[in-house]
Amino acid sequence: MAAYKRVLLKLSGEALMGDDAFGINRKTIERMVSEIKEISDMGVEIAIVIGGGNIFRGMTGGAAGMDRATADYMGMMATIMNALALQDAMKQAGMDARVQSALRIDQVVEPYIRPRALRQLEEGKIVIFAAGTGNPFFTTDTAAALRGVEIGAEVVLKATKVDGVYTADPKKDPTATRYSTVSFDEAISKDLKVMDATAFALCRDQNMPIRVFSIVKEGALKRIIEGSDEGTLVQCKPI
């Protein structure tokens, strides 16, 4: 039985690279889609916000010295490319996925319209939110927090390559331990950097819990939906 009815899954663009230096690794995206399909088949309504770092990483040399707003708009378009790739992989897996973009590209994707997104979720479709918030200077973490609140998600699932939030960087400190749960206030006081400050403040103010987990760890997403102690839960009051 699913512990959540509606979730917002935040996927980093880097998670789509697999072992590649940049771009999209097809096997990686197909594996992610199969795990998302598992929880969709359990009746969970799923919205996804996806980053664009994997695409933009291949352009970093050309972006050096560029105006920040221009670079951010380029990053938003990279998220649209990722969203289309994810939608295509989902359709090939027999899933009904829709892309809604905060930037208007009507020939390619639907514009973001909240009532439409809610209707599509209720119909069992996967809704992929692209182009962040549509504004420069805001990250896709902030977009995930914002869209999560707007659609009434029960939790923001932040998929990373690390299986939770640690007391220190586990790659540098072998004694680092994983938090099972942590409060927003403790995460701030210890500078745990769960999300960027704007996204984190929005989740805290709206009492939106965040679950940080590893998308690389097979079956982790399903275990979270089933209520297992996977990753790190960040919430207003620790359990």
Q: Is 140 annotated as a binding residue?
A: yes
> For the domain that residue 222 is a member of, what is the CATH number?
3.40.1160.10
Q: Is 134 annotated as a binding residue?
A: yes
| pTM attached to this predicted model | 0.92
Does some domain include residue 185? Answer: yes
Which 3-state string (H, E, C) describes the chain?
CCCCCEEEEEECHHHHCCCCCCCCCHHHHHHHHHHHHHHHHCCCEEEEEECCHHHHHHHHHHHCCCCHHHHHHHHHHHHHHHHHHHHHHHHHCCCCEEEEECCCCCCCCEECCHHHHHHHHHCCCEEEEECCCCCCCCCHHHHHHHHHHHHCCCEEEEEECCCCCECCCCCCCCCCCECCEEEHHHHHHCCCCCCCHHHHHHHHHCCCCEEEEECCCCCHHHHHHCCCCCCEEEECCCC
Q: Does residue 104 surpass a pLDDT of 70?
A: yes
Does some domain include residue 1? Answer: no
Q: Residue 239's pLDDT is what? A: 47
Q: Is 237 annotated as a binding residue?
A: no
Q: How do residues 193-209 score in pLDDT, each as one tens digit?
A: 888 889 999 999 999 99
Q: Is 125 annotated as a binding residue?
A: no
Q: How do residues 42-83 score in pLDDT, each as one tens digit?
A: 999 999 999 887 776 555 555 667 888 988 898 899 999 999
Count up the domains in the chain and report the number.
1
Q: Does residue 138 surpass a pLDDT of 60?
A: yes
Q: Which domain holds residue 112?
A: 6-235
Q: Is 28 annotated as a binding residue?
A: no
Does some domain include residue 19? Answer: yes
Cα torsion angle, 135, 54, 51, 27, sign? positive
Q: Residue 58's pLDDT is what? A: 54
Does some domain include residue 226? Answer: yes
Q: Is 57 annotated as a binding residue?
A: yes
